[in-house]
Amino acid sequence: MSRVSLIRARIIVEGDVQKVGYRDFVQKAARRLGVKGYVENLRDGSVQIVCEAEEPVLKRFLEEINVREGFIMVENVRILERTEARGEFELFEIKYGRLEEELGDRLGTAVAYAAAMHRDVKEMRGDMKNMHEDLKGAITNMHIDLKETIKDMHADLKGTIKDMHSDLKETIKDMHSDLKETVTNMHVDLKETVKDMHADLKGSIGDMHSDLKEGINGVQSEISGMRREVNERFEEMAKRYDAISAELVRTREELTRAVDGLLKLIEEFIRERREEERRRRK
């Protein structure tokens, strides 16, 4: 790549571009594309980039740094100067300001990302709480419906038995009246008739008892099935709750490790800056 084919550009980027890690983002994009120069923060809150590259590479570089990602919100990218490259840069670097400013910038970035992670965890807890309330409401409604169903079935069964008892009582009463009127003249026939009626009545009652027993067994089977279904759903919800709880624990551990690593990086950065200032004073 010859020097004549390179373009030198001074670029101003405006928006939320300080204390959000934007300079690191620009440096990574520049080094990936082979752009050389530097990036620095300006006092008015914007970011300045001075760089050298070929025209097609510079165009792609401008597209990549005009980004809205995470906390980075670029509003405007302006090229203030375009001149022939001087070939003074060996690579692309970040120009840092005073130690206090850089420390504040890095801490601001860390606090912003930590706050975002805290919001995500808080929203996850809210979702779990809503899931718990929905599960509780569903179980309560199922219990109410089951209770009402059993109550209605009991009332219907009780009414049916009562009606059958009344009908049987009236029938026996009528039969007794008829038998009383004809007992003198039809004693033999009446004896056989009563015997046959007794047998028929016994069979009818037996059949009614069997039908009633089968109905009750069917109801009990349905209730058992509903109970198994409720238990299965509750176990499934419990498993989901355990999985979400485990994920929350892992998220909290990852967040703790990330914050610890960030603090170590900050301490190492402060030590390096102090060493650099000490060397400069010497």
The residues carrying an active-site annotation are 23, 41
Please classify residue 62 by burial: count the beta carbons closer than 10 Å to its beta carbon, then call 0-12 exposed, 13-18 middle and 19+ buried.
middle
Burial 171-197 (b: 16+ CB within 10 A, else e): eeeeeeeeeeeeeeeeeeebeeeeeee
Q: 3-state SS string over 91-115?
A: CEEECCCCHHHHHHHHHHHHHHHHH
Query: Where would I find the H helices in the chain?
Result: 22-33, 55-65, 99-182, 187-281
CA pair distance 48, 80, nearest whole angstrom: 10
Choose among 200, 182, 198: nearest CA to 190. Answer: 182
| Partners of 68 in the β-ladder | 73
CA pair distance 157, 153, nearest whole angstrom: 6
Q: What are φ and ψ of residue 13, in 5° steps? A: -115, 125
